[in-house]
Structure 1
Amino acid sequence: MKPFLIALAFLTTTISQAQDFAKHVNPFIGTGGHGHTFPGATVPYGMVQLSPDTRIDGSWDGCGGYHYSDNLIYGFSHTHLNGTGVSDYGDIMLMPTVGINTLDSKLYSSKFQHKNEKASAGFYSVHLDKYNIDVRLTTSTRVGFHEYTFHDECRPHIMLDLNHRDKLIGKDYKIINDKTIEIYRQSEAWARNQQIWARIEFNQPMFFEYYNNSMQNGFIIHPKKGNVKKGEKILVKVSLSPTSYEGAKLNSSEIKHWDFDKVHKDAIAAWNKELSKIEVTSDDKDKLAIFYTALYHTMMQPNIAQDLDGKYRGRDNQIHVAEGFDYYTVFSLWDTFRGAHPLYTLIDKKRTADYINTFIKQYEQGGRLPVWELASNETDCMIGYHSVSVIADAMAKGIKGFDYEKAFEASKASAMRDVLGLDAYKKNGFISIDDEHESVSKTLEYAYDDWCIAQMAQILNKQEDYQYFMKRSQNWKNIFDWETGFMRPKKNGGWDKPFDPREVNNNFTEGNSWQYSFFVPQDIYGMIQAYGGPEKFEAKLDEMFNSESKTTGREQVDVTGLIGQYAHGNEPSHHMAYLYNYVEKPEKTAAKVHYILDNFYTNTPDGLIGNEDCGQMSAWYVLSSMGIYDVTPGDMILWATVKPNFEKIKVSVENEKKTINESFKDIFSDFGFEKEGDEVFELDYYPLSYYEIIPVPVIQSESKAFKDNLKIELKSQYLNDVIYFMINDKDDHLAKKMFVKYSKPFEISQTSTIEAYVKTNEGQSNTISATFFKKPNNYSINIKSIYNPQYHAGGPEGLLDGILGTENWRKGDWQGYQSQDFEAVVDLKEVKSVNEISARFLQDQRSWILMPTKVDYYVSEDNVNFTYFGSVNNTLDPKLEENTILNFTSNETKDKKARYVKVIAKNFGKLPEWHQGAGGDAFIFVDEITIK
């Protein structure tokens, strides 16, 4: 039996009576450690996430607004992100206080204790120690409901602070009557243009005092009657809208009464309806808590983003009406295409269709499918165009309710753009460091996405498109180093050196070569053969899991949960344990999967080994606990399997329960497979991909720049491959030369471009090129400072090679220095007349890279006694966000005799309060030093 290749059959069972699954949910899981979840009240896929904020600085572990290690609450806001790695939301914050008359968060915040804090599905409560106030929170889909109980007779003030968390860039308000106020808030953070309207209603008459100055924006609200009695409650309802005041008013009709307990019960019922889609049985309460909290976390987003009448704000910032579907937001697709969306295709087909209809509308209104969409903004965070994975998987699984042709049109349009390395990817069959940062990860993920588009084309009988995208799906072979057995970055036609597969750097997305060398889900058997066959592939997996659990290079906070070089705390590793199944070693898959289930998920605040990432971390747990994982979303049949983590599991598909048992006899599916008794279908060994390409050759040399001569070597993967090449030097680059057959290494002596391709009996590879630069001089440099090894520009000589870095510093052509000045001495090799000295610097302030405050130049004949040549002060605004390059040129002094030139660039220093990294140390990025 091959348990890794099964068509899914099912046994239908009687639907069980209603059960309270919500009682198992522990919203505190993931609020500690690096989980980045929040504990507040929300309903499934709701617009409102009403939760306490203990972090207002946008810090890494405060991305969800709350961290379990804190003991101070600033207030309760109505929008939060579940487990992301970037901070945003925190809109419409209310904070009940006593006797506070300022919107200074340091003064109105209150300490709290976890023993006085409770959270469950749809509910949160806490006691504010400073004010002796009990706060209870619950929600409907679009309305947050607050209950404040005052345990002393007092004069309360409720803060409505519009400056809370992200940057306020626009505001408005309407006082409707003495119980109702309406608020408009426009803010900027990760989402650059976030707009929200709120209707805030109180159960008693209130005064609304408006504060609007450089430090305070918002209202201090207090009862008209003055003091409240001991034990008195103030109730507040806050309805949200992404479109207008009218939308907020309409949405307020979701709760027409003031019965807090009824809203709470309705929230529990909503959660039980969704959580009942998967029913597991266990005597272990912790296992039940972990499972149902994981399922709960997968259902906290995407979030409904339309009013009750269907109006929503589109990607064009205009108001539209959703007809025949519901419009959603918060699509963390780089994370969720792997496990969360395959889970939705299984248990929530209607929402899956709604998500895709949302994608299509965003394509129609914004010109492309979403990458990481948030509040009608495209953040362009992460890589790939993974909307196509969600679409292909839905089409492969037969989900209806969206326009297949329009979805394919949108998918193809996303893949045919010329941005983010796609132009080079289409031309060369891979992305090089020279083309784009994160080149290895982008090449691999584009190739998988292209396979997904090919599957759509096949379903729609578009054979030309199918062939084209299947060919592109094989581009992973162009960055696979057959000699080392790793996916490696290429630079200027050859492998980048030195190479350490453990190194986290800008050639990979939140990872290293180990964590990306197994990402070929569209061609697993092709990958196995590239590694040398099943035995060698198994050995490579073993080596990964058994390596030292330590990475090198850049510190990457996402890389957690290490088992060797496997990193369960980040998404690129999530399918890897299941790959043993594809070499018929299911016992190894079982051992790894159950180790992760048992050790990386716990019923504690730090119970997630990494960021929740909008449900993906939990989706892995849910699917793996059920004994299945969709290694290749977009494939019609295959699911990897493992022994389930529960003795009995029932899954609701289209309102019908279906059973899985641990012998795999009843693995479920509702995707059109015919049932034959209780048997599981088995499929023969077959590859997912039927398309082959000829991998491109490798153009190897010692460096990109040289002084006298440079040796060039061409290599190909197979001995029988024939390589053809052509040289265009700087003097005759327009000449029409012929490609000639390569036989042995050769040398060049001037700036030249080499073109090459591989030819076999089966066909021809893409033609690639590499340009090598003869250095403009024979100068040398002695750098006194210490550059960050991640940003080395090829070493010290990179500052004198005549190769100029671009605004995209992540491609590796800049040297980076943090928390220090830059100082270097250039040796001209002989005394010359110096008339001008120049050095190039780059600013990307969002990445902590700022211009030096000034650059000083000195000259010397003996490298001991230096005299002043000139200074250049910075003129660029450090707040400017656009990546900018400046030449700091000094030419006031003429005909100065010198052999040595000293350059000193003064570091900006500590990042100021206005900066998102306030208090951190700025970088200096320098590239070329030019001396005339």
Structure 2
Amino acid sequence: MIKYLKIIPIVLLVSLYSCNSKSLDPVTTSSPLIEYVNPFIGTGGHGHTYPGAVAPFGMMQLSPDTRLDGWDGCSGYHYSDREIFGFSHTHLSGTGVSDYGDLLLMPTNAVLFNNGADGKPGYKSAFSHDDEIATPGYYEVHLKDTDIRAALTVKERSGIHRYDFPKGSKQIIIVDLEHRDEVLSAAIETLSKTQIQGHRHSKAWAEQQQLFFAVEFSRPYKKVTYYKSKTSGKEVKAAFEFEADEGTSMEVRVGISAVNEAGAALNLKTELANKSFQTVKEETQEAWERQLKKIVINHPDATVLTNFYTAMYHSMLAPNLYQDVDGNYRGMDLKIHKTTSFDYYTVFSLWDTYRATHPLYTLIEQERTNDFINTFLAKYDEGGIMPIWDLSGNYTGCMIGYHAVPVIADAYLKGIQNYDTEKAFRAMLHSATRDKLGLASYKKFGYIPVEEESESVSKTLEYAYDDWTIAQMAKAMGEDREYQTYLQRAQYYKNVYDPKSQFMRGRFRNTWFAPFDPYEVNFNYTEANAWQYSFYVPQDVSGMMQLMGGKRQLEANLDKLFSAEDQTSGRHQVDITGLIGQYAHGNEPSHHMAYLYNFVNKPHKTQARVRQILQEQYTNTPDGISGNEDCGQMSAWYVFSSLGFYPVTPGANQYIIGAPLVEKATIYLESGKKFSIVAAPYSEAAKYIQQVFLNGKALQRSYLTHQEIIQGGELRFVMGTTPSEWGTAEGTEPVTAIKEHLIVPAPFIEDGDVAFKGSTKITLNCADTTAIVRYRLGKGEFTVYEKPFEVSENTILTVVAEKDGWRSAAIKTALYKIDPNRSISLKNAYANQYNAGGENALIDGVLGAKDFRTGTWQGYFDTDMEAIVDLGSTKNIQQVAINFLEDQRSWIFLPTEVTCLGSKDGVTFTPLDTAITLNSAEPHEAVSIKNVYFTPSNAAVRYVKVIAKKLGTLSQWHLGYKHQGKSWLFIDEIQIRE
């Protein structure tokens, strides 16, 4: 447990996770809830959280840095580390990509500019978790190597360091502006012996992050030393030495801004003024107490209290305020703007947080939700599009979907509308009508083909949900044309549903991507596999059930999901964690799945699974979050599910009932009303609902509405140890269903080869078996498809489906006849997720595009590629051309050497031309395709052998070198011209 420090003597935190820790009493409204927040939860494992001081949704995150790079160093801190490099002022909570760590300060007793990461003497220091304290708004640690005690506290845009040096020691504070990310520009300017200011502009996840700072020392420094005598540039560090005779304790006050140094100074002056360290700490902890009291729970188990209030705390760390006290901020155009009508924010992890975090805000942060949406609209004005994942005025290009859209729609439909609603609707339409990120294909075909865009299945599914929320807002606003358009687009999920396997699959040249393994993590899905995306149709669960064959089939498929082998194949994906079967709670696409049993009238299965996840996937330990915390989403799931319900479909204004973990809870709404939840009789084994009463009346349905919560009242659960009949009767289940403007799914090639020898037999099918499928070859007339047909020449196959006067998109596929006399044999195995179509991929006439994830390249991991093409008879070869992809950021490197040999008998091979040597280890930023040509002189051969040598171990300059990474070879196509 974490001790609540009303006064700060030197307090040692005795084994945060000791089994002998004294249990806290059940919460009462007079108890300080911050006692139950453990900021160390998630700092171990893959949680990627930080333990430092931060105000609710604050701009400054003042926290220790123990790790400089690596995936588990995204927040700058990892619980397994034993050394602290210093204390920086910005950190990301729970992200999967690293950034921030701006303006590092470190107290020490020697002028050392090396951080010590290389094993040489440096300013870093060992520390022990026994000497570390973290509570909301406060952090303290003892630095063992220098015997210095450091304490940190903050306001929204400013913070205070307090350092206690040992008596007689030198007193030096290192200011390191080179720490962590690549520095674009940095400077320190001394204004007086107690004041400095400057800036640090850096490049990491955000390509151009701009931070400015103002610093005040409580005592004048007597000497300053600059690294390499530089006060500006890219290697800016300074050592400030203070007179030891003037006392052992000192404070450093820091203000930050994204605008300029004056803004940082104003933030510091306005927020900190002449307040003492203790006053600032108490004010911020009082702010946290007010935040946490928005939901007050009772529970006999201190661990549940700690898990719950830590989840509340984590859900309120981001988005981050990104605006100075005078209203100035740096927008998405990186220019300075000003507003005083709303607070402007950054760090919107929308692919994660639209699912539960933002719906939680619509209950307990309604005014702030208005600010978030006003921020989206400001970013739309400044940058031309609403953010997908924005960071410090930068579009990061990370993640998929346009999930600012459901955040707005969900808020609007719940009556949260303190923004320009017409402009918001236009911005939503704008996001949905771009041509990037697969949208051009999505709009044209009703799905995204594998060969057109990576992560095509996930993007199709998430766009379809986003479009449904546009349709719901259009309907509420009386926009009938847009309602029809986007309701139809909301059904595009049907185009990636394979009725045979009952999985959502990638369509590659209008066939299903094969060979298919639902456990395989590949480029068709976003941080997931087919198991983890095939239930993602929250907007039309009824339609999904109909495709699968009804309620019982969906139930059976869900049972298989949770009981499947808990291993994945294909590409290693660090985000896929917290596996229960193939349900992956550590990553967001799975978060709604346990609640889908309610839709098939089996709520007891939801209750059992939700309780299992709550108890197994969240613990009061450093690795107590089963995956990246992701800016509040993992925590919001816990908060909702502990209360007993979850927003499966934001925008539907429904909360699906699960099984409450807490004995009692009260949600204090901004209107002054309150909504109470009671579960009785309470016991750990009583996880099954027997009856539910809403405001004293029996509630038979297994869902709530937003209005029922927001108007206040009481929800009472009668719990038991065995499943009951509650929620099992027809009509008591939640429903999401699209019943009008129904589309016809586009037909697909179920069997047959798009690149074939001799001939191929084509079988067509459609997810809607009642639709009429038509096809044509070349420019002929359309024919009703009745049975498989033969194709023996190059042609274009066009297919379309019709039903009830509606017609699907017409899908064209080039059928390519491979020279029947040619064949290819491969010595080494390619990776299945990069098979480009199989064994004949290198001679099938299809050329790879620049994005390796589109599936048109054949990939070889840490192995050479050796292929022999049999021409069928002896030919005079004029040219052999091979294409290779180079995308070094993705570990795809050109071969070091390519050799081309010929043979008449397939046994004895001789060079057809001089081997080509490539400097594949030379760094290149750009993605490019390298064409390698061989021009034999009058070579008469039947067999052509191509050998491409791998790079192997990555070069020292590459990020992957530290992880002992190996290279990939990507090849397509081997073209032999006679």
TM class, shorter-chain normalised? over 0.9
CA drift at 1:182 = 1.2
What does the per-residue CA deviation read over 1:508-550, in whole Å, with 9 as the maximum and x for residues that have no partner? 1111111111111111122222222222221221121122222
1:322–1:780 distance in 2 versus 1, CA, 3 Å: same
Q: For 1:643-654, list aligned pairs within 5 A.
A: 643-654=659-670
Three-state SS of the structure 2 residue aligned to 1:296 is helix
2:134 is matched with 119
What does the per-residue CA deviation read over 1:238-269, in whole Å, with 9 as the maximum and x for residues that have no partner? 21101111111111121123622222111211
CA drift at 1:474 = 0.9
1:346–1:668 distance in 2 versus 1, CA, 3 Å: farther
Give the whole-Å Cα distance in 1 for the aligned partners of 2:46 and 2:370.
32
What does the per-residue CA deviation read over 1:366-392, in whole Å, with 9 as the maximum and x for residues that have no partner? 111111111111112111111111000
Q: Give the alignment partner of residue 316 of structure 1, picking from 333, 340, 349.
A: 333
Does the CA contact (< 8 Å) of 2:585 and 2:591 recur in 1?
yes
1:800 is matched with 843
2:537 is matched with 520
2:15 is matched with none
1:278–1:909 distance in 2 versus 1, CA, 3 Å: same
What does the per-residue CA deviation read over 1:596-649, in whole Å, with 9 as the maximum and x for residues that have no partner? 11111110101011110111000000000111101110113x210123211211
What amino acid is aligned across from residue 738 of structure 2 in structure 1? S
What does the per-residue CA deviation read over 1:114-158, in whole Å, with 9 as the maximum and x for residues that have no partner? 111111111111111111111111111111211111124222332
1:421 is matched with 438
What does the per-residue CA deviation read over 1:210-242, in whole Å, with 9 as the maximum and x for residues that have no partner? 2259998222322253x467x702311121101
What does the per-residue CA deviation read over 1:291-331, in whole Å, with 9 as the maximum and x for residues that have no partner? 00000000000000000111111111111112411100000
Does the CA contact (< 8 Å) of 2:54 and 2:60 recur in 1?
yes
| 2:675 counterpart of 1:658 | yes
Q: Give the alignment partner of residue 434 of structure 1, picking from 434, 437, 451.
A: 451
Does the CA contact (< 8 Å) of 2:896 and 2:920 recur in 1?
no
1:109–1:687 distance in 2 versus 1, CA, 3 Å: closer
Q: Give the alignment partner of residue 154 of structure 2, picking from 136, 139, 157.
A: 139
Q: For 1:828-867, list aligned pairs within 5 A.
A: 828-867=871-910
| 2:258 counterpart of 1:247 | no
What amino acid is aligned across from residue 749 of structure 2 in structure 1? I
Q: For 1:701-720, list aligned pairs within 5 A.
A: 701-720=751-770
2:396 is matched with 379
CA drift at 1:874 = 3.0
| 2:116 counterpart of 1:87 | no
What does the per-residue CA deviation read over 1:257-286, in whole Å, with 9 as the maximum and x for residues that have no partner? 362222211121111011110100122111
Give the whole-Å Cα distance in 1 for the aligned partners of 2:53 and 2:815.
60
| 2:240 counterpart of 1:222 | yes
CA drift at 1:160 = 1.8
1:244–1:668 distance in 2 versus 1, CA, 3 Å: farther
Does the CA contact (< 8 Å) of 1:168 and 1:188 recur in 2?
yes
CA drift at 1:718 = 5.0
1:770–1:836 distance in 2 versus 1, CA, 3 Å: closer
What amino acid is aligned across from residue 588 of structure 2 in structure 1? E
2:344 is matched with 327
CA drift at 1:838 = 2.3
1:457–1:262 distance in 2 versus 1, CA, 3 Å: same
Give the whole-Å Cα distance in 1 for the aligned partners of 2:713 and 2:336.
52
What amino acid is aligned across from residue 960 of structure 2 in structure 1? G
Q: For 1:723-872, list aligned pairs within 5 A.
A: 723-728=773-778, 735=779, 737-775=780-818, 778-868=821-911, 869-872=913-916
Three-state SS of the structure 1 residue aligned to 2:640 is helix
Q: For 1:492-503, list aligned pairs within 5 A.
A: 492-503=509-520
Give the whole-Å Cα distance in 1 for the aligned partners of 2:641 and 2:624.
17
CA drift at 1:784 = 2.8
1:760–1:688 distance in 2 versus 1, CA, 3 Å: closer
CA drift at 1:685 = 6.5
| 2:263 counterpart of 1:234 | no
**TM-score, with structure 1 as normaliser:** 0.93
1:121–1:83 distance in 2 versus 1, CA, 3 Å: same
What does the per-residue CA deviation read over 1:539-580, in whole Å, with 9 as the maximum and x for residues that have no partner? 221121122222222221111111111111111111111111
Three-state SS of the structure 1 residue aligned to 2:597 is helix
Give the whole-Å Cα distance in 1 for the aligned partners of 2:106 and 2:735.
60
CA drift at 1:776 = 5.3
CA drift at 1:658 = 2.8
Query: Using CA pairs below 8 Å that are at least 6 residues apart, which structure has the higher relative contact order?
Result: 1
Give the whole-Å Cα distance in 1 for the aligned partners of 2:362 and 2:94.
22
Does the CA contact (< 8 Å) of 1:699 and 1:770 recur in 2?
no
2:191 is matched with 176
Does the CA contact (< 8 Å) of 1:53 and 1:65 recur in 2?
yes
What does the per-residue CA deviation read over 1:348-380, in whole Å, with 9 as the maximum and x for residues that have no partner? 001111111111111111111111111111112
Does the CA contact (< 8 Å) of 1:43 and 1:270 recur in 2?
yes
1:690 is matched with 739
1:180–1:664 distance in 2 versus 1, CA, 3 Å: farther
What amino acid is aligned across from residue 178 of structure 2 in structure 1? N
Three-state SS of the structure 2 residue aligned to 1:639 is strand
Give the whole-Å Cα distance in 1 for the aligned partners of 2:811 and 2:864.
40
Q: Give the alignment partner of residue 452 of structure 1, picking from 466, 469, 474.
A: 469
| 2:51 counterpart of 1:39 | yes
Give the whole-Å Cα distance in 2 for the aligned partners of 1:622 and 1:518.
23
Does the CA contact (< 8 Å) of 1:205 and 1:223 recur in 2?
no
Give the whole-Å Cα distance in 2 for the aligned partners of 1:386 and 1:292.
27
Does the CA contact (< 8 Å) of 2:744 and 2:801 recur in 1?
yes
Does the CA contact (< 8 Å) of 2:675 and 2:714 recur in 1?
no
Q: For 1:189-204, list aligned pairs within 5 A.
A: 189-204=204-219
Identity of aligned residues (%): 47
What amino acid is aligned across from residue 863 of structure 2 in structure 1? Q
What amino acid is aligned across from residue 927 of structure 1 in structure 2? D
What amino acid is aligned across from residue 41 of structure 1 in structure 2? A
Three-state SS of the structure 1 residue aligned to 2:378 is helix
2:17 is matched with none
Q: Give the alignment partner of residue 914 of structure 1, picking from 945, 950, 957.
A: 957
**Which shows bigger deviation, 920-929 or 801-810?**
920-929
**TM-score, with structure 2 as normaliser:** 0.89
Does the CA contact (< 8 Å) of 1:154 and 1:228 recur in 2?
no
Where does structure 2 lack aligned partners over 5 or more consecutive residues?
A: 1-26, 680-691, 696-702, 717-726
**Which shows bigger deviation, 698-707 or 85-94?**
698-707
